Structure 1
């Protein structure tokens, strides 16, 4: 590998815990690997592998597999509408794998972004772009953007033009300040601008930093304040400073801009406020004051605004849809854990809106149930009333997770809980409950951990689903059941129908 030194001992406790969890999952997966691989081969296999001559042919499909909404401009956060593939048979569209990592070698890989042509990945202190339709390894990138230090903050948002923002440290030292924000073009690999922002430190180290985007604006927050930059010029639009004993916990973007503040009147008396900010001026449009006793707040959507709170507990217990003044519209209980809102807690890349598998439309929120006997279900709830609207069953030996909206449809991922039943991407109609299959596929054992929403980014874009690992890890020393090849990103698409 050639992306700089591994993480310092500053992050080793978290790295070790994550590694232990991942190794346990890998060992469980690989224990059944031989049997499942034989079954897959006996049935002809579920995944069509790209050969050298096939890669170029599958880089583009006839016509564009996704289109933007008519009302969107180039500076908006993209909301593409996916088209159903020509075939429901899934084939590999992209793979990024390495086989030269040493035992114990590790690299952080924050952020996964895709366009119709390029898959971009953060690796330590570098952004790299690969051509979709290829089987690639290191040094196969079509562009590379070196940064002054390790990436320390990402946003999943991408503009209509295919641009995104990342935070990175000021120096190569992984303990240096996280005080730089870069705005990049995913297709061209061009760094459009890179700015230093003021940050703050506490007795425990640097306060958490957060980056997000909304129309025409890149916004950054840290403990003592927040600031925003114009997308086109990189000029500062505004800066808000800490006030009233409240510290900035993070930002959420998309159609609107929300910030979360933690306000302290003593060590044990902390309350939370969610504010809607005008993106171009930073002025407060409304404030929602969380009730006393709330221990955690996450933002599931900015427009319509929906927050999740942990009422009297560290776990999230309720959802609150808010109106255009920040007032509660309804209350949706998670029934003591019957429904799950999983928000990833990664201290190196903090975010208040990193809650995969929970999706919000204009009028509903889609939640998954707790897994039971290798299956679950998904339920939609009305944002105005808080009442359940429709139930979507995953089916036997499958787990169903909503990924994002695609126009008025919900795109969802069917994960195989037994590693025999094929995986798949489906479209769900919230009004009728009808399910439309996009494509189904199977994976070899060495790729199973990539499909975990807790361990990977999952991106559906331009007719493909991508799974991007959070971390590259070398094989376990002297472990016979650990593959030598590390799969870091995998992309699947529907196979094209053969011409008549």
Structure 2
């Protein structure tokens, strides 16, 4: 059984390696867990897959969001668990990749029962409470071609969407969308959509022409796909087209941002033909808030000339991330209900750090820019001196003024993950290999930090905290890490490769 190209550990030969490889893997697992347990106890936290790993209990005290409808985008509020001991909730790994093997792993989502991960041209579902390798998945959703786009948003009934190529052949267009159920892996519906060549020329990409990168996102009862030449919106239950738009003149739709509202990013070209068509000097950007029911534009914000990129950390309230130089995001714009500029938050030449995905098909994936409770939270640049440290600071969306500041303290880094109600969830990453790493809650009202649980990562998974190469999410009381891509280790490196990992409070195992 194969998850599709490129050749990898997910080929038939790897999946049929036999009982001997399984036995070797289990012996290695026991050794790793003993090492992790001893190291964790010495640091005051611990990390272990419990004996009752088959359980599928939900987390301690997760409660519904303020938009709990089944067709709304999910936004759960997490509560502090009863125990601060972190245990392994799920793991997905391989131990027989060869040097140079590589496969892409776009997209990661979680429910109270399943951790789902994109792998090449398949989405796999892993049951919470299991230690899985290829072949142990709860379900698989095979696609006709490799995954070429996804959204991090999930509906109230645990559904989401991915884009995929028409086939596994080299040069196949990214022109299909699938809406599927995360709990059972069932495809609710799928459709093909148009493709356009990069730049202002209309038509279908031909003779190796570069395709405009399509994107997909979710908002209430709407799956929105942009494809360069326009936007198509589908209803969630049946996949019927609700509305569509077509690009006009020298502008085209370049990305969809969902969540509490729908914002479409437009890219426009000037008529200066002395410059390359993809030169930033010819391109300007607009953000258009759209009625998801009709497709009607509610407002349009035009970015200043010279802006090199525009991302959307939040659609409700609307917050835009502006890249006006060659060093990434330079400022955040808080917009009002009419698309007017409420406040400008400058990142002060890198003093504050805001990251958005480098993938062209993701305009609303900004993993360390957290928006909620009338504020936006950013982390500071790392101070790498005798003792590594940083801080997280909040900015008021109405005024742009700073609010609370949360210090990491020495030998630690604070990384925003997402807001949860009126709190901020953050990863407290240990830098000294002595104190444990932790998931913590930060209260902007009081400035108090509350630990959710502590844990230590085995050596093979230590790089999971790097947001440049991994997805990080919190859902139903659990913290998940997932690789965006993996490559086989070198000949002199350990063969154990982590693909995804989930951690939860020990209290969840006692239920």
TM-score (norm 1): 0.89
* Counterpart check, 1:461 vs 2:475: yes
* Counterpart check, 1:252 vs 2:257: yes
Task: Give the structure 2 partner of residue 494 of structure 1.
Answer: 505
CA contact (8 A) 1:170 1:178 kept: yes
* Counterpart check, 1:227 vs 2:232: yes
Task: Give the structure 1 partner of residue 149 of structure 2.
Answer: 153
1:42 Cα offset (Å): 7.4
CA contact (8 A) 2:125 2:138 kept: yes
Cα distance change of structure 1 residues 489 and 499 upon mapping to structure 2, 3 Å threshold: closer
Counterparts of 1:33-48 in structure 2, within 5 Å, are 40=39, 43=42, 46-48=45-47
Task: Name the Cα RMSD after superposition.
Answer: 2.2
- Measure the CA separation in 1 of the matches of 2:349 and 2:262: 30
Cα distance change of structure 1 residues 338 and 188 upon mapping to structure 2, 3 Å threshold: same
Among candidates 297, 315, 322, match of residue 310 of structure 2: 297
- Measure the CA separation in 2 of the matches of 1:436 and 1:485: 34
Task: Give the structure 2 partner of residue 309 of structure 1.
Answer: 322
CA contact (8 A) 1:47 1:443 kept: no
Among candidates 291, 301, 321, match of residue 288 of structure 1: 301
1:367 Cα offset (Å): 0.5
Cα distance change of structure 1 residues 457 and 38 upon mapping to structure 2, 3 Å threshold: closer
Counterparts of 1:386-425 in structure 2, within 5 Å, are 386-425=400-439
Alpha-carbon displacement from aligned partner over 1:409-443 (angstroms, at most 9, x marks no partner):
11111112233321110111111111111001011
- Measure the CA separation in 2 of the matches of 1:499 and 1:78: 27
1:454 Cα offset (Å): 1.1
Counterparts of 1:378-393 in structure 2, within 5 Å, are 378-393=392-407
Counterparts of 1:89-128 in structure 2, within 5 Å, are 89-128=85-124
Alpha-carbon displacement from aligned partner over 1:338-395 (angstroms, at most 9, x marks no partner):
0011122135xx2112211110114100000001122110000001110111100111
Among candidates 319, 323, 329, match of residue 336 of structure 2: 323
Task: Give the structure 1 partner of residue 368 of structure 2.
Answer: 357
Q: Which runs of 5+ in 1 are unaligned?
A: 9-32
Select between 416-425 and 253-262 the one with higher mean Cα deviation: 416-425
CA contact (8 A) 2:109 2:117 kept: yes
1:208 Cα offset (Å): 0.8
Counterparts of 1:11-22 in structure 2, within 5 Å, are none
Alpha-carbon displacement from aligned partner over 1:146-200 (angstroms, at most 9, x marks no partner):
1010000011000010000000001112420100000000001110001011111
- Measure the CA separation in 2 of the matches of 1:131 and 1:362: 33
- Measure the CA separation in 1 of the matches of 2:242 and 2:215: 17
Three-state SS of the structure 2 residue aligned to 1:187 is: coil
Q: Which runs of 5+ in 2 are unaligned?
A: 9-31, 199-207, 276-280
CA contact (8 A) 1:304 1:362 kept: no
- Measure the CA separation in 1 of the matches of 2:469 and 2:83: 29
CA contact (8 A) 2:107 2:150 kept: yes
Task: Give the structure 2 partner of residue 240 of structure 1.
Answer: 245
CA contact (8 A) 2:480 2:502 kept: yes
Three-state SS of the structure 2 residue aligned to 1:251 is: strand
Alpha-carbon displacement from aligned partner over 1:63-102 (angstroms, at most 9, x marks no partner):
7531212542110001111121110011111111111222
- Measure the CA separation in 2 of the matches of 1:427 and 1:368: 15
Counterparts of 1:55-134 in structure 2, within 5 Å, are 55-57=53-55, 59-60=56-57, 65-134=61-130
- Measure the CA separation in 1 of the matches of 2:494 and 2:326: 40
1:295 Cα offset (Å): 1.6
Among candidates 434, 443, 449, match of residue 457 of structure 2: 443
- Measure the CA separation in 2 of the matches of 1:344 and 1:70: 27
Task: Give the structure 2 partner of residue 13 of structure 1.
Answer: none
Task: Give the structure 1 partner of residue 214 of structure 2.
Answer: 209
CA contact (8 A) 2:232 2:241 kept: yes
- Measure the CA separation in 2 of the matches of 1:337 and 1:324: 29
- Measure the CA separation in 2 of the matches of 1:4 and 1:134: 24
1:46 Cα offset (Å): 3.6
